[in-house]
Amino acid sequence: MTRVNLMVTAAAMIGAACAALFAGAPSLPKLGTILSTADAADTGAPLYYQDPDGKPFYSSTPKKTPDEREYRAVPASADISFDEPGSPPEMKTAEPKGERKIKYYRNPMGLPDTSPAPKKDSMGMDYIPVYEGDDSDDGSVKLSPGKIQRTGVKSEPAELRPIRTAVRAPGTIQLDERRVSVVAMRAESFVQKVADVTTGSRVTKGQPLMDIYSSAVSSAAAEYLATITSKTTAGIEPYGRGSRQRLVNLDVPEPIIAEMEKSHSVPITVQWLSPRDGIVLQRSAIEGMRAQPGDVLFRIADTSLVWANVDISERDLGGIAVGQPVTVRARSYPGRDFKGRISVIYPQVNKETRTARVRIELTNADLALLPDMYVDAEIDTGTPTPVLAVAESAVLDTGSKQAVLLDRGQGRFEPREVILGRRGHGYVEIRDGLVEGDAVVTSANFLIDAESNLTAALKGFSESGHAQDSEKAMGAKP
């Protein structure tokens, strides 16, 4: 009988004795005699009476509440549990004697000290009995309902769900190399006039940039016109085609050649046109200057499509692939997203920063993104295919291996080693070790793991102690 049972039984008997004395009961237990729960069970009388709402109000005789409700009779076969301080006592049926066998007693403070018989520690606290079935050989651990409630143990089933992982990396905006053009002379020329176009101006394809005089261009144009207007060579394809090709090789704009064919005249100066839509990045042309072959007079770039070159950490390269969608955010435009896709993963890792460069193509219709602008990229490396996953908080990682705690019900928990995969949004993929629907502990698993380790240590200590006692007993025989 527990200490609480003795106190409640004694209080109930004293109250019953006093009530019977004043009521003139014919038979009373002698003063100093304690009625045990077994004696009460033999007589069939209730042990005491309790408030019907479970409040801490008790009576040794039948009683009613102020609202005329009867107190609940507590039979002698009931026991009392005070798992939670301050909470109403719970009624639970006492286990029949002899149904469970005590294997050993463990130290109440959790120390690795066990005893085959009841004993007290140095502070006078009783050792805690460990029954058969409380520990098992499969490495599982069993907790009482009160301890489960106090530690806040929670379990969730392993489910199929898509794992989404966002890789974030910084980068800069660069021009699309395929959309940059230069205007340069292929023969010695003189700049007669420059249009009102400056660095930063936006130009369209075919817009005049400057007027050029070149003796080489004039000579080729005169030869071409003579060929197509001569009665001898007119209509003979090889002659006209060869003369026209000289003008094309000198990079004379196609509209200018068409105008010569229509007017049958050679212009003194040739109007040079923009080869594409874009922004003038460089203007080196000055009126009256002499331009040598290869000198860049204008540099024009189409910025309607730009690149974002970002540096991805080496550990994230496994989840990066060409074609993945990317969201880019410019620091100059808070709250605005630019959508793009990965076009190239450069085949080299920076040995100093341990990063690899990734190229992202972005549409820049309103020209908000400028070259060398800082941006932040977010790459979605997940797949829409669901995989078996559990909460990240459910994983116990020792460094060399990972495990989870399975909730077997009835307060029993079993460790299970698992193989992990991708992580994302608070979940981790389980590639091996679990099946769909397995209940996994997601909260207070570290406390259960500590309890499991303590149980294993106590069990090993107990077994070693029993073995030593057996050896001593065998050595003591003649």
| Full 3-state SS string of 233-249 | CCCCHHHHHHHHHHHHH
| Whole-angstrom distance, CA of residue 421 vs CA of residue 385 | 14
Residues 345, 284 share a domain: no
Q: Would residue 218 count as lying in a domain?
A: yes
* Chain centroid to CA 423: 5
pLDDT confidence of residue 168: 92
Which residue in 49, 100, 134 sits closest to 458, CA to CA?
134
Residue that wins the pLDDT comparison between 214 and 443: 214
Cβ-count burial of 381 within 10 angstroms (0-12 exposed, 13-18 middle, 19+ buried)?
middle
Number of domains the chain contains: 5
Question: Which whole number is the average pLDDT over 174-194?
Answer: 94
Cβ atoms 266, 252 nearer than 8 A: no
Which of 364, 380, 396 is the endpoint of a domain?
380
User: pLDDT over 70 for what percent of the chain?
Assistant: 70
pLDDT at 331 over 60: yes
Kind of pairing between the strands at 114-115 and 90-93: unpaired
In CATH, what number is assigned to the domain containing residue 319? 2.40.30.170
Which residue in 71, 9, 4 sits closest to 37, CA to CA?
9
Predicted model pTM: 0.55
Q: Give backbone dihedrals phi and psi of 35, rounded to 5 degrees, phi first.
A: -85, 120
**And the tokens for 104?**
């050993």
Residues 151, 224 share a domain: no
pLDDT at 456 over 60: no
Query: How sure is the predictor about 230, in pLDDT bands with cuts at 50, 70 and 90?
Result: confident
Residues 220, 289 share a domain: yes
Q: Would residue 449 count as lying in a domain?
A: no
**And the tokens for 338?**
């630019």
Domain span at residue 119 reads: 102-142+454-476
DSSP structure class, residue 473: H
pLDDT confidence of residue 86: 42
pLDDT confidence of residue 309: 96
Residue with the two structure tokens 């196609």 = 254
